[in-house]
Chains A and B, each alone.
Chain A
Amino acid sequence: MKESLIFGKKKVVTGNHAVSYGVLLSRAEVIAAYPITPQTQIVELLSEFCASGLLKAKFIKVESEHSAMAACVGAAAAGCRTFTATSAHGLALMHEMLHWAVGGRLPIVLANVNRSMGPGWSVWTDQNDSLSQRDVGFVQFYCESNQEVLDTTIQAFKIAETCLIPVMLVLDAFVLSHTSEPVDIPYQEDVDQFLPPYKPKYFLDVNDPRAFGGLTSPDHYYEIRYKIEEAHRKALKVAEEVDNEFYQIFGRKYGLVEAYQCEDARLVLVTSGTITGTARQVIDEERSKGKRVGLLKIRLFRPSPIHLIKEILTKVEKVAVIDRNISFGHSGIFSQEIKSILYNEIRRPMIFDFVIGLGGRDVVPDDIREIIDFTYKADYPQEMVYFRGVRL
């Protein structure tokens, strides 16, 4: 693989390979991974980059995802920039070590390809795998396009290392992971300028022997947790700064959320992941028919960009949240988030929740149109959650 054929070119790549290029450009130093569909292509390409010497990283081929995160924990604690990728059951198996990465304040970057949880076995997309990890303390980004995937991968390392918290970037199985789009691959020197080498203040150093993660009494534990919360609050600012800085160098930015056609909107859809792209098109059509509809894309899920969501959604009458996930016995998870953010506002919209597309069932423009029509016509949500397209 020749550098001149990769960097500074527009290439047609899958979402998975967009992650791999992002990790290559970010000069990850230790990668540990275990195969799982639909993630595997990410690490296959990375193993080729390592084998060819293009990426001077050590790739540990572990025996499980639990060990993948554990190896990253060890390598990051010893001072290296580390990366792993997984999906669904792999992420679930990692759960314990996700806590370790957060508690250890290790800036590991993880790409999760959203895949539905079994049984029954499904390799197709929904968000329950990553949303089940909501409370471990990882930063979570949901991506819409392959370009955004590559750019977010690079941004992820910078945010993680600035705030000392791990970052998970999330992309939809197949709809992004295996779909090719034209992607600008930046020049290495530009990425080097944006993302300097990782130099932690504290690491496993034989010349400065310390113990990490030992027994912590109630006298200290709470404060250490509070500092993680502080890091998340910092990350909210840092993510915005990093996005702006990225724009200065690469000419692209995404925002923590994106308000699309929201200026005079009466009804706003809330979306994440690739459903956003479908919804954008429908919003354009509805606008051309004179309907005052808009779209709020949630890109950064944790830390929650509460101020931005409030700013946009307190100005509208109705909100329709599209959830490709479910918290059984309650409702879609994004809708719970939106409701909790707006509850104490004096002016707040009616919030409708639509669960759709579980297990990778297609979400097509007609689905979005129906959701808009339904929400438009209803005075208020009579159900906590509406299940779209259930065939019983």
Chain B
Amino acid sequence: MKWQYANNTEEYMNPGHLACPGCGGAYAMRLALKALGKNTIVVIPACCWSIIDGPFPLHCIKVPLYHTAFETAAVVASGIRAALEVKGKRDIEVLAFAGDGGTLDIGIQALSAVCERNDKIIYACYDNEAYMNTGIQRSSATPYGAWTTTTPREDFKKERKKNITEIIAAHRIPYVATASIGFPDDLIVKFKKAKEAKGTAFIHIFAPCPTGWRMAPELMITIAQLAVDCKIFPLYEVFDGVKYVINYQPKNIPVQEYLKLQGRFSHLTEEEIEIIQKEVDFNWELLVKKAKG
């Protein structure tokens, strides 16, 4: 992975934000703004970023930000886009930046409608696989096997993670991509592509949460890279809902290596880990088939 863009472009995020140490969501925003630049308006629903930006009257990113209700990030962004069109303001990006709960659960209706209308916004979901801001409750992005405060270890989450990338791709919007904060240059390139899309662009960002995943903050990047190399979170793009491109060939590391670094999986038996491994392998094969066309 390269860090060329990540380290050598202008910053649009100030230090002094309120994220936890090792927050993938905070780094995801920092990278996204490096790609999009000054002429960006950000919309944030209820999520960790409602806090990270800082309490009134503070504001840690150097672009305008509209805080909105949990389920409305996508459509508020559409409203802003409509206003910019009416006012004849071009070359401004509208970025909806939401967590997994605000995207896969409560916000999916408005997001689906925005995709169906193909409104010219960029929607980024920073996925930390649970409702972290409210204290680590399970969402439909929480993977099989995980502990959360509403899926105790004795009754850990049995359902698979909802595949939001495929759901959004099915709307056949021009650009859908997965990205990881462990692959910063790839992430930045994807936001630049999203900017050029002729309509809605959706980027699903893997954003580790040391607090909720019960792991060491300094492992933020390592974990994000391992998720890709274990094929748990492959990096790929979908153009117009049909053309699949895999951006990175995983190192094929067993999922065990990824799971063992996180306390949220520490209760899993070998059999349960095997279930995860099989599911991951199956999903990868499906993706490879799609990419071959």
Contact = CB atoms under 8 A, between A and B. Distances in A.
A90 to B, nearest CB: 15
B113 A214 contact: no
Interface stretch (A75-83, A263-271, A306-314, A328-336): A75-83
A73 B76 CA distance: 7
A61 interface: yes
A328 B79 CA distance: 37
Contact of B75 (A56, A71, A82, A205): A71
Given A96-B69, A206-B39, A75 B55 contact: no
Contact of A209 (B54, B62, B71, B117): B62
B280 interface: no
B64 A205 contact: yes
A204 B79 contact: no
Given A72-B79, A74-B76, A206-B39, A100 B86 contact: no
Contacts of A162: none
B79 A211 contact: no
Contacts, number: 157
B262 interface: no
A74 B65 contact: no
Contacts of B112: 63
B67 A75 contact: no
Interface residues of A, number: 42
Contacts of B84: 78
Given A66-B71, A77-B66, A209-B64, A217 B79 contact: no
A213 interface: yes
B113 A74 contact: no
Contact of B78 (A60, A76, A80): A60
Interface in A192-234: 204-206, 208-217, 220
Contact of A211 (B39, B51, B59, B75): B59
Contacts of A209: 59, 61-65
A29 interface: yes
A212 B75 CA distance: 16
B83 A30 contact: yes
A198 to B, nearest CB: 11
B66 A29 contact: no
B59 A214 contact: yes
A257 B112 CA distance: 45
Given A74-B77, A75-B86, 13 more contacts: A63-B110, A63-B112, A63-B113, A67-B113, A71-B82, A74-B68, A74-B75, A74-B81, A75-B83, A100-B68, A209-B65, A213-B66, A213-B68
Interface of A: 29-30, 32, 56-58, 60-64, 66-67, 70-80, 82, 96-97, 100, 204-206, 208-217, 220
